[in-house]
Amino acid sequence: MDDYRVIADELAADIAAGRIRAGDRLLPLRRFARNRHIASSTAARVYRELSRRGLTVGEVGRGTFVRTAAPAAEPALAEPGEARVDLEMNFPVLPGHPALLARSLEQLVRPDALAAALRPVGAAGTDVARRTAAAHLARADWAPDPGQLLFAGNGRQAVAAAIAALVPAGERLGVEALTYPVVKGIAARLGVTLVPLAMDEHGLTPDALRAAAPLRAVYVQPALHNPLGTTMPGPRRTELADALRELGIHVIEDAIYGFLRNDLPPLAALAPERTVVVDSLSKRLAPGLSLGFLTVPTGATQEFATALRSGTWAASRFALDAATRWMADGTAAAVEEEKRSDAAARQRIVAERLAGFRVRADPQAYHCWWELPDPWRADTFVAAAARRGIAVTPSGAFAVGPGHAPSAVRLALASPPVDVLAGALDVLAGLAQGMPEDTVPE
């Protein structure tokens, strides 16, 4: 067994026995190396091994700490939480929307229509579905070509198909340094290496893209970035499109939340030959009956359709027909308009209840990024919030690679009623103004 693993085993035993307590900060790396009479590189491997086992968490500028709770079994946050107030998952279903959606389905459950909806369908769907979806997804100065549209079961499957089509196993996919957790899981299952790319206040920087080359593709969220909630301005989108052309790289543009900010065109309007736009109905309408969309470059439909089929990620005919009806009769547009108003109202509640804290978000986003005040750490704050019946997501769920995660949490705002949301934010604000329960004076 390697020496670093022996040392990691000793520290793990100390943590299990309580000799090193939850919340304790480990020695700085160089001091740990000196005390153990080992090389700094060996000490770094020890700390990485403890992180890999889920025993520690690192935070930028603060050091490495013993976790106060076990890490989530699934970092992609695939299942709804069981907390009394769920600020971890975003399921925006507003009162009255189920009844509105149901009215559009009355004709679909007639025997003749249902017979057609129960038949299989390919990744390209139907002509009617493609034309209807293209019209519905159009925004700003961009409208997808119906001939370049494909359908997946949901947005996650659309992302998986896009990655599978563009990035062979063992190759490199660039992603923002903080990214949608599901992408990390997809990449691991496909054998794809994620390369974190630096961001600034406007999003992914073109220079980071150039510095990381060669890449097979890059995955970005220009509109209402998850988890940061920020939106990439027009000039940065133009610069990024120019860099993609310069480097010959394809981009997977996640537009899942883009319906909340439909005033800016996607990257596909600037570099259509390099862009795959991924979208879905899960946030637009409801997660229970979803549909994923891929708008692919001209001439690439067969490649992406093959990826959808091989991954069994294609849409079902019933979901396709239901979604087509919702988009065609205006139901989807009406639901989305109400959600835009709802998201803006929830952001106003955040601005009021978390005034004075460092919170980042687009005013139209259904989530926000909260940079916690000292001496709070993300892991400790999540545990303390959970003890008060509130589920929030630590920054580590979004960080790419084993590096340090910032001392921040993401708050998903869509699931609870607005009065419950306001009360939960009051509780969290009071919590943040106090001291962590595991803080021990030095």
Kindly report, residue by residue over 113-159, the tens digit of the pLDDT: 777 777 778 899 999 999 999 999 999 889 999 999 999 999 999 99
CB atoms within 10 A of CB 210: 12
pLDDT at 70: 54
Residue 156 corresponds to which tokens in the numbers above? 């996650």
Average pLDDT over the chain reads 88
**Reported pTM:** 0.81
Q: Are 123 and 244 in contact, with CB atoms under 8 Å apart?
A: no
pLDDT(439) > 60: no
pLDDT(26) > 70: yes
pLDDT at 373: 95
Kindly report, residue by residue over 39-66, the tens digit of the pLDDT: 888 888 888 888 877 788 776 667 788 8
Contacts of 102 (CB under 8 A, 6+ apart): none
Please tell me which of 35-49, 229-243, 277-291 the model is most confident about, judged by mean pLDDT: 229-243
CA–CA dist 421, 168 (Å, integer): 43
pLDDT(212) > 50: yes
At residue 263 the predicted structure's pLDDT band, cuts being 50, 70 and 90, is: confident
Kindly report, residue by residue over 360-389, the tens digit of the pLDDT: 999 999 999 999 999 999 989 999 999 999
Alpha carbon distances (Å) from 286 to 21, 38, 102, 232, 415: 43, 55, 12, 26, 11
pLDDT at 59: 65
CB atoms within 10 A of CB 36: 15
At residue 103 the predicted structure's pLDDT band, cuts being 50, 70 and 90, is: confident
The pLDDT > 70 percentage for the chain reads 93
pLDDT at 296: 97
Q: Are 220 and 176 in contact, with CB atoms under 8 Å apart?
A: yes
pLDDT average, residue stretch 305-332: 92
CA–CA dist 385, 85 (Å, integer): 10
At residue 91 the predicted structure's pLDDT band, cuts being 50, 70 and 90, is: confident
Strands 199-200 and 390-391: unpaired
CA–CA dist 387, 389 (Å, integer): 5
